[in-house]
Each structure stands twice: as structure tokens, then as C-alpha cells.
């Protein structure tokens, strides 16, 4: 039976580390343009209590999204020990494209995938390069699309990247700006026959009737400034409620589609959006099975790296596989869930056997 198998992974975490204390001098306003009645120390304390973010990574001024995507891609290619000229597709999940320092406007021409192919100096015109714009679930969805190409016999090797530079598109006067970070992760997948390893099942949903604008682009919250740029905005409470209602059910369906039970799952690699929300999601998932959450079932990276959107899951996966995330390990035969929720509102999940 044909399987989509991960044969190499790589990631890049930017060098610039911003702690919560770096935001003490910011001027924060609410969506009405009104300053908060309490000091930044209190805002940051409350922010940490909810998200558990202490630090986040930002790219340097001389770097762009395609640069960090290329580093992660190169590391995944080296890990896979393949000739990159034999790739069939390069799919890059990203939501804002190439955003240069000091200008929050998105730039998708050419796409990040095309820029990566150029920076890798690949000559083969048969390597098709394009971007996946799908909110934070973009890398998981790109993996699902890679699976479709492989199952259809249209590809043998595909490079799947998730890269984002959210520090370039945040409103520094919005307290939610402290959530977002930069980073890149990548995986090379290959078609394999007669193997137990590989992608077992997947599930994707798009909830758009009432939820389409829970994440959106909007103007700065700072009043009386001449700034017509658009920044990333979110309705945090609505996203939290939505995620708790729908994500556990979607994961359960994906596990059942794989013919497995929650007791067969070794780890759940969930998009690092908000630690409090992620903990609530996994608690509800195990509650659907009347099971306690096992220790170490849900690795977390958001505390140190923030929310880097499409990059969070492939970065976490590579850290675990390279034994660089504490005691977390993935062993041969382990069944692992990749799952994400984000702008759209989209939800997706994969069950993968290592």
C-alpha cells in the first residue's frame, strides 16, 4: 500500500529573543482606541497567565521570510539525504508572504516557495513551487495536499515548509502583538510502498458562516495617527470558545478514521497558539474517551518561542526528532497527531505513524 512518509525534517528559530519585559514601554490601546486603566506590568502579567508565553523569536532586520524558509528547507533536505533536484513539489505554508522590515504590506509575487526554490539554486523546471495560504493550519494542510499528490501518483518527493514572520505584521499598540513570533519548519515526504509507517488519516474543516472573521487584518488601535496599514487582529475569546467546541471532535474523528483509539496515540502535536487553550483542547479530547491525559502527551514550545503560526508544528516535530525538546521522544511505531486551528476558521488533523 502506498504511504506518505516523512524522510527528513528541519527548522530555523531566529536569533533575536524578545522577553515579556521588552514590552513594558509599549503604549497599548483597546479596539476602541482607549488606553488601558492599568499599567503594562499588569497587562503583561495577565497575558502570561493566559498564554504562558515568556519569550518569542524575531528575525533580524536583514532577514526575510524566504530566508528563514530556505534555511529550514535546506536542513530538511540534508536530513533526508536526497538530491533536491529530484523533488516534485515545494509547497510553502505562509499567510503574509515576504514582508520587509518597516513595511507590514504582504508580498506574494513571487511566492515564498518560488523564492525558496531560487535560493536553493534548483534548476529542474519540473519542481513545481507554490504557496499554501490557510491560516495557522497551513503546514498541516500542505502535508494533506502532499498526501493527495502522492496517493494520486503525481509525485514521489515533496518538500513541505511552514514559514512566517509575524513580527512584521503586528500592531505594536495591540496587546495581542505579544503572542506572535517568527520561525520556519520543513519536512520532506516521499512515496513508499509496503510500509507500516506514514500518514494514516486526515481531516479538514472550514467554518465560515459566523466564524470567518475571527482573525482578520485591521488598522492600528493607536488613535489619531496617520497609519493606513493593516495588521493582524483577532477576537481571542471567540477563537477560544470555537476551538474548544470543534477541535477535540475533529481530532477524535481523525483517530477513528485511522482505526485507532486514543490509547494508541503517543503524542498530540498541536499548533502552539495559546497554552491555556491547547491544554483545554487536549483535556476535552481525552474526556471524549473517558481517559486521563498521559504525562508528556502534549509537548509545548509556546513559552519560549511564541506563536509562529504555520511554523509551530514542523518546528516542534524537528526538535523532538532531533532530541532537542527536553525528554520528549518519538519512537518507531508511535502514532502521533498533528492538529491545528486558525484563521478561516480552519481546523485540520493528521494521524501519522513513525
Residue 136: active-site member: yes
**177, 226: one domain:** no
Distance, CA of 279 to CA of 301 (rounded, Å): 13
Residues 65, 173, 203, 307: which is the catalytic one?
307
Q: 146-178: per-residue pLDDT in tens? A: 999 999 999 999 999 999 999 999 999 999 999
The domain boundary, picked from 171, 196, 221, lies at 196
Task: Return the CATH number at 25.
Answer: 3.40.47.10
**172, 186: one domain:** yes
Residue 307: active-site member: yes
Lookup: cell for 231? 495588521
**167, 111: one domain:** yes
Q: If you search the block for the grid coordinates 502535536, which residue do you land on?
A: 269
Using DSSP bridges, classify how beta strands 128-132 and 89-93 pair: parallel, antiparallel or unpaired.
parallel
Q: 245-304: per-residue pLDDT in tens? A: 999 999 999 999 999 999 999 999 999 999 999 999 999 999 999 999 999 999 999 999
Residues 65, 136, 203, 274: which is the catalytic one?
136
Residues 271, 328, 335, 346: which is the catalytic one?
271
Residue-by-residue pLDDT tens, the chain, 354 positions:
899 999 999 999 999 999 999 999 999 999 999 999 999 999 999 999 999 999 999 999 999 999 999 999 999 999 999 999 999 999 999 999 999 999 999 999 999 999 999 999 999 999 999 999 999 999 999 999 999 999 999 999 999 999 999 999 999 999 999 999 999 999 999 999 988 999 999 999 999 999 999 999 999 999 989 899 999 999 999 999 999 999 999 999 999 999 999 999 999 999 999 999 999 999 999 999 999 999 999 999 999 999 999 999 999 999 999 999 999 999 999 999 999 999 999 999 999 999
Q: If you search the block for the grid coordinates 499567510, which residue do you land on?
A: 95
Question: Which segments of the chain are extended strands (E)?
Answer: 2-12, 16-19, 55-58, 89-93, 128-132, 157-165, 182-193, 198-206, 215-218, 231-234, 265-270, 335-342, 346-353
* Phi/psi of residue 156, nearest 5 degrees: -115, -40
**192, 232: one domain:** no
**35, 107: one domain:** yes
The domain boundary, picked from 146, 172, 196, lies at 196
Q: If you search the block for the grid coordinates 522577553, which residue do you land on?
A: 19
**232, 325: one domain:** yes
**102, 210: one domain:** no
Q: How many of the other CB atoms lie within 10 Å of CB of 23? A: 17
The total number of structural domains in the chain stands at: 2
Distance, CA of 214 to CA of 231 (rounded, Å): 14
pTM of the model: 0.95
Q: Which domain holds residue 176?
A: 2-196
Amino acid at each position: 500500500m502506498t504511504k506518505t512518509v516523512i524522510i527528513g525534517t528541519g527548522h530555523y528559530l531566529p536569533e533575536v529573543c524578545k522577553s515579556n519585559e521588552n514590552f513594558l514601554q509599549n503604549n497599548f490601546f483597546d479596539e476602541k482606541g482607549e488606553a488601558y486603566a492599568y499599567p503594562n506590568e499588569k497587562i503583561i502579567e495577565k497575558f502570561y497567565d493566559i498564554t504562558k508565553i515568556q519569550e518569542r523569536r524575531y528575525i533580524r532586520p536583514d532577514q526575510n521570510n524566504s530566508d528563514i524558509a530556505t534555511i529550514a528547507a535546506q536542513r530538511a533536505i540534508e536530513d533526508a539525504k536526497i538530491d533536491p533536484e529530484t523533488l516534485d513539489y515545494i509547497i510553502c505554508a505562509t499567510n503574509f508572504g515576504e514582508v520587509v522590515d518597516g513595511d507590514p504590506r504582504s508580498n506574494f509575487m513571487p511566492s515564498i516557495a518560488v523564492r525558496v526554490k531560487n535560493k536553493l539554486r534548483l534548476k529542474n523546471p519540473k519542481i513545481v513551487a507554490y504557496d499554501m495560504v490557510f491560516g495557522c493550519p497551513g503546514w498541516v494542510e500542505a502535508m494533506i495536499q502532499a498526501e493527495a499528490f502522492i496517493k494520486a501518483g503525481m509525485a514521489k518527493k515533496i518538500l513541505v515548509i511552514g514559514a512566517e514572520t509575524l513580527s512584521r505584521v503586528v500592531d505594536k499598540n495591540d496587546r495581542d502583538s505579544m503572542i506572535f513570533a517568527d520561525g520556519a519548519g520543513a519536512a520532506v515526504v516521499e512515496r513508499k510502498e509496503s510500509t507500516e509507517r506514514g500518514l494514516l488519516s486526515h481531516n479538514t474543516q472550514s467554518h465560515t458562516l459566523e466564524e470567518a472573521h475571527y482573525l482578520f487584518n485591521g488598522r492600528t488601535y493607536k488613535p489619531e495617527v496617520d497609519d493606513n496599514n493593516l495588521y493582524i487582529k483577532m477576537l481571542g475569546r471567540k477563537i477560544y470558545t470555537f476551538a474548544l467546541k470543534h477541535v477535540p471532535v475533529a481530532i477524535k474523528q481523525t483517530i477513528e478514521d485511522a482505526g485507532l483509539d486514543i490509547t494508541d496515540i503517543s503524542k498530540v502535536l498541536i499548533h502552539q497558539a495559546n497554552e491555556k487553550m491547547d491544554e483545554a483542547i487536549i483535556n476535552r479530547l481525552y474526556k471524549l474517551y473517558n481517559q486521563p491525559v498521559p504525562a508528556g502527551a502534549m509537548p509545548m514550545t509556546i513559552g519560549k518561542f511564541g506563536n509562529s503560526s504555520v511554523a509551530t508544528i514542523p518546528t516542534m516535530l524537528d526538535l523532538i526528532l532531533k532530541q532537542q525538546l527536553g525528554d520528549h521522544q518519538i519512537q518507531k511505531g508511535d502514532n502521533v497527531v498533528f492538529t491545528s486551528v486558525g484563521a478561516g476558521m480552519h481546523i485540520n488533523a493528521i494521524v501519522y505513524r513513525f
